[in-house]
A and B are shown apart, each in its own frame.
Chain A
Amino acid sequence: MSGNGGHKHSHSENELRAEALEAVLTEKGIVTAEAIEAVIRLFEEDIGPMNGARVVARAWTDPAFRARLLDDATTAVGEIEMVMILEAPLVVVPNEPGVHNVVVCTLCSCYPSGLLGISPSWYKDPAYRSRVVREPRNVLSEMGLELEPGWEVRVWDSSAELRYMVLPERPPGCDDWSAERLAALVTRDSMIGTGRPRLPSEI
């Protein structure tokens, strides 16, 4: 459709081509304006960590999903109906008794924002990025997360090629909760590894 002459410069022609696509596809009912706007909102606003929380809650309630998530997170998160775009392939690392995981991007600020929303300012802070690798226990303690002595801390360095997310442990006292209810317990920091999920008594 390019090179049709006229007085329109290329930016304007692109704009009209994009507008024509949207008009024809929405009129045919192939896609809705609401769905388009939902995607745009996802990128314009801080949607927070709700997508990640749903992934965690599903893993807590569905052992087969948990296994698929730990095996191939990039594919497994696609099973959940949500407006979500991965910036890069995803790896989910599970916390277990005796093992705590924490995520950083030592080079810049790579972060799974499709799942966790906009990254917190401290995540981009050079102090966090360098210190959490050298002295993770101290950094976590300063952020209010005390780990039992003897626990292993694994630090995962996100990159352009790979994003990490922590699967926190399910808190006690919510055994019969639905995945929907459990998602409210899952905090952003618990999926970065700098915090724990809320307790049922805290919501």
Chain B
Amino acid sequence: MADDKTPRVLDDAGPAAPPRKNGELLFDHVWEGRLFGLTMALYDSGAFAWDEFRERLISEIADWEREHPDGSEYRYYERWLAAFERLVADKGLCAAEDLMGRFRDLAARPAGHDH
């Protein structure tokens, strides 16, 4: 196991803590659970140290809060997504152009063909 493998501890309180109901994780949309799984699977492969993700998540949330003082339309997993995109780019795991290209391809699918 890599030396920089910080223990994976999901925050239970504070801004970086995921939404929960009765102590269990709460996903509003299927993609949120899927992204959560992707993040954890990538962590398990040793691609990053947990704190590297956590720091970016905290900073994404703080940035959003600064830009949205009224706090409306806040979505936790939207911040998670932004933090994960940054992590993947910073770690050189995939190029931003590749992601952008794939995003455009997916968005261009005819209606009714995306799931």
Contact = CB atoms under 8 A, between A and B. Distances in A.
User: DSSP class of A's interface residues: helix, strand, loop or mixed?
Assistant: helix
A21 B10 contact: no
A87 interface: yes
User: DSSP class of B's interface residues: helix, strand, loop or mixed?
Assistant: helix
Contact of B8 (A17, A25, A86): A86
Contacts of B29: 11, 14-15
Interface residues of B, number: 44
B13 A24 contact: no
B103 A20 contact: yes
A175 B52 CA distance: 42
Most buried by A among B22, B34, B84, B100: B34
Interface in B62-115: 75, 77-78, 81, 84-85, 88, 93-94, 98-100, 102-103, 106-107, 114
A142 interface: no
Given A30-B42, A110-B23, A113-B23, A21 B85 contact: yes
Given A25-B42, A43-B33, A161-B13, A8 B7 contact: no
B23 A25 contact: no
Contacts of A8: 107
Contacts of A20: 99-100, 102-103, 106
B103 A17 contact: yes
Which 7 residue pairs spanning A and B have beta carbons closest together?
A35-B41, A20-B102, A39-B37, A36-B37, A15-B31, A160-B12, A40-B37
Interface of A: 1, 6, 8, 10-11, 13-25, 28, 30-32, 35-40, 43-44, 74-75, 77-79, 83-89, 108-111, 113, 118-119, 124, 160-161
